[in-house]
Structure 1
C-alpha cells in the first residue's frame, strides 16, 4: 500500500508516524474499545490502524486506507 500512495500522502504519513512514535495517545484515537493498544491515525485523506507494542516499544501498521 505504501508504494501505491501519492508522494504527498506518503510524506504526510511518514511525519504523522514520527509524531505517533513521540506521543501515540496525543495524535491517535482509540480503535473501537479504548484498550490503549489499537489506535486510529487520521491525516487528511489517510486512515491508519496501528497496534502499539508498549513493552517492546514498537508500533505495527495493520491497515492503511487512502481516501483520496
Structure 2
C-alpha cells in the first residue's frame, strides 16, 4: 500500500532549494520510500520501524513512518552538495 508523503516544518523549502538533478534524485527516493518505507530506507538509531533514514548521493533525510496513518513525514533534510 502506498504511503502519503508529508513534510515537516522547513524541510520542503530545503528540497525546493536543491539543484534540479539532486532534487529529482531525492524525489525518486522519496517515492520509493512511499511504496516501501522499510525496504527503501535505512535504520535510524534503534530499528523500531518508525524512524528511518533516506540517503541519496547529495541528501540525507530523517523520516517518520506512520503505519496507521499511512504517511511518510520528512522530519529533517540535509543537502550535502
Q: Give the TM-score range, shorter chain.
A: over 0.9
Q: Which residue of 2 aligns with 1:2?
A: 15
Distance (Å, rounded) in 2 between the aligned partners of 1:2 and 1:18: 14
Q: Is there any run of 5+ residues in structure 1 with no aligned partner, and where?
A: none
Higher relative contact order, chain-length normalized (CA < 8 Å, sep 6+): 2
Q: Does 1:14 align with 2:27?
A: yes
* Larger relative helix fraction: 1
Q: Is there any run of 5+ residues in structure 2 with no aligned partner, and where?
A: 1-13
Give the TM-score, by structure 1 length.
Answer: 0.93
Q: Which residue of 2 aligns with 1:29?
A: 42
Number of equivalences: 68
Alpha-carbon offset, residue 2 of structure 1: 1.7
- The superposition leaves residues 13-54 of structure 1 with CA deviations (integer Å, 9 ceiling, x where unpaired) of 111111001111111111111111000000111101000000
Quote the RMSD (CA, aligned, Å). 0.8
**Which of 51, 58, 63 is 2:71 aligned to?**
58
Q: Give the secondary structure class of the aligned counterpart of 1:34.
A: coil
Give the TM-score, by structure 2 length.
Answer: 0.79
